[in-house]
Amino acid sequence: MQIDAQIFLPIAERAGQVAIIDSEATGTKGDYNSLLVVTIKPLGRPPVTLSVERPGDDRSLARDARDLLHEYAVWVSYYGKGFDMPMLQSRLLRHNLKPLERRLHIDVYWHMKAHSLTARRSQAHLLEWLDTPSKKMTLSPELWNQVLKDPARGLAVLRSRCESDCEGLEALYNRTKHLIVNITR
């Protein structure tokens, strides 16, 4: 049975089954890098942010993020099919943990690519262009290097950034969800 996305999404939202996801990592490859922070924000509710105590030690973070994500039927990410979910899946595999179960996944990056023609596709640009109250938090290249040097300070900033990205993504989702036709895994 197939249900129209515009009928399904309000039902899933009212049931509290939609979660926004963002993550930060030491790099972009799951074999050479590790997770630092994962934020899962139930739509319309405060975010839940998980982080490592020490960079490189992400076993419990990966497990806890997976378990929390499994509580939701629909995930919303920004380029999450290209980074967040494969990175989490890679880290679960590395630690010999159960993989992520499949869920409906709205990747707003691909959704916007299909339904708009903009000069840039970054989340920051789209939030600014659509004049949303949320803006993307930027970080200097030096801060990324400081995470390994001073994890307590660096991780606190990355936690804020991850939560900010989820707030912005929620605004972008709310502003554009009327264009969603299909939801895939």
20 pLDDT above the threshold of 90: yes
* pLDDT at residue number 185: 72
- Identify the burial level of 144 via C-beta atoms within 10 angstroms of its C-beta, where 0-12 means exposed, 13-18 middle and 19 or more buried: middle
Range of the domain at 145: 5-179
pTM score, two decimals? 0.94
CATH number of the domain where residue 154 is located = 3.30.420.10
Tokens of 146: 């400081």
Is 78 a domain residue? Answer: yes
* pLDDT at residue number 1: 57
Is 77 a domain residue? Answer: yes
- The dihedrals phi and psi of 37, each to the nearest 5 degrees, come to -145, 140
Is 184 a domain residue? Answer: no
Strands annotated E in 43-132 = 48-51, 74-77, 104-107
Is 38 a domain residue? Answer: yes
Rounded average pLDDT over 34-49: 98
SS3 percent helix, strand, coil of the chain, rounded to 5, is: 45, 15, 40
Is 74 a domain residue? Answer: yes
Number of domains the chain is built from: 1
